[in-house]
Amino acid sequence: MRLKLAIQKSGRLHDDSLRLLKECGIDIENGVNKLKAEATNFPIELFFLRDDDIPQYVEDGVADIGFVGENVVYEKAKKVEVSYALGFGKCRLSFGVRKNENFDGPSFLTNKKIATSYPVLVQSYLNQHHIQAEIHEISGSVEIAPGIGLADVICDLVSSGSTLFMNGLKEAETILESQAVLIKKVGLNEAATAILEKLLFRIESVKKAKKNKYVLLNAPNENLDKIISLLPGMKSPTVVALATPGWSSVHSVIAESDFWELIEQLKAAGAEGILVVPIEKMIL
């Protein structure tokens, strides 16, 4: 029994999807140009598909799970369960208007022509704000629509905003914050669920590790209590005596988010020779 995972064949999510599997210690045999590939050391089989098709394949059970953008999941509105946020493929679905225009709220859109590849999400935004507007569904290069007179406004995926800018547009309002998620088939069988749980455990360990750093530092013994109180560690910091009398080496795990502030405080408390190293996996 193998868990069938659908990932994007090529495009923005492809490399990150494969990288995540690799970080989970899962080796995929070469064959990215094929439709399918198997892992050599984990009971998983990969399907390479267009991202737009992944929710349907998962709903139908052709694939058990998929890695796909939330934007696609909600637009396609298939019967699948969103089970885990993967932390890559971050972007926003936003309205873009001409640079010289002033978007002063949803009513700006009244009776406008809106070009988008996301008609379902745009329509639901319009309904929610009781706005009448005309949606033109186009499948690619949405950002050129205002320039060629096809639409007044666009609604498209944005990350930096530079594509909008290059086309004389600016970001006006975000309707969805998106990232890649793991979706699964509704009513996944027991054997597949057991493999999925193993996979999720590994993904979680990789994600936690990325959020943390391992710190090693030298501390004068008279300030040891103060330094230890700054470092929570997984249980508590490790303290080892240095060959130099009066000094100890302290090892601990710290959150990336607290990093700079903590380093300042450690230095102020007399810590020296501070080393910070990345953590590959973290199991609590």
Q: Does 12 bind ligand ATP (CB under 6 A)?
A: yes
Residue 71, binding choice from Zn ion, ligand ATP, none, Cβ under 5 to 8 Å by partner class: ligand ATP
Q: Does 159 bind ligand ATP (CB under 6 A)?
A: yes
Q: Which is nearer to ligand ATP, 106 or 161 (CB)?
A: 161
For residue 106, which phi and psi values (nearest 5 degrees)?
A: -55, -30
Beta carbon nearer to ligand ATP, 37 or 228: 37
Q: Tell me the closest approach of the beta carbon of residue 179 to ligand ATP, in angstroms.
A: 7
Q: Cα–Cα distances in Å, from 249 out to 27, 215, 239, 240, 273?
A: 37, 10, 6, 5, 10
Which residue in 11, 89, 98, 18 sits closest to 50, CA to CA?
A: 11
By rule CB under 6 A, what count of residues binds ligand ATP?
A: 15
- Measured from the CB atom, the residue of 12 and 208 that comes closer to Zn ion is 12
By the 8 A CB rule, do 219 and 247 touch? yes
Please give the distance of CA 128 from its chain centroid, rounded to a whole number.
27
142 and 117 Cβ atoms separated by less than 8 Å: yes
167 binds ligand ATP (CB under 6 A): no
Site string for ligand ATP, 73-112 (x = CB under 6 A): ----------------x-x---------------------
Give the DSSP per-residue string, 126-167: HHHTT---EEEE-SS-GGGTTTTTS-SEEEEEESSSHHHHHT
Is 11 among the residues that bind ligand ATP (CB under 6 A)? Answer: yes
Rounded to whole angstroms, how far apart are CA atoms 9 and 41?
21
Of Zn ion, ligand ATP, none, which one does residue 81 interact with (CB within 5 to 8 Å by kind)? Answer: none
Site residues for ligand ATP, 52-71, by CB under 6 A, read 52, 69, 71
Q: Which does 89 bind (CB under 5 to 8 A by kind): ligand ATP, Zn ion, none?
A: ligand ATP
Binding status of residue 45 toward ligand ATP by CB under 6 A: no
Pairing state of beta strands 3-8 and 91-98? unpaired
Cα Dmax for the chain: 78
Question: Residues 157, 195, 217, 230: which binds ligand ATP (CB under 6 A)?
Answer: 157
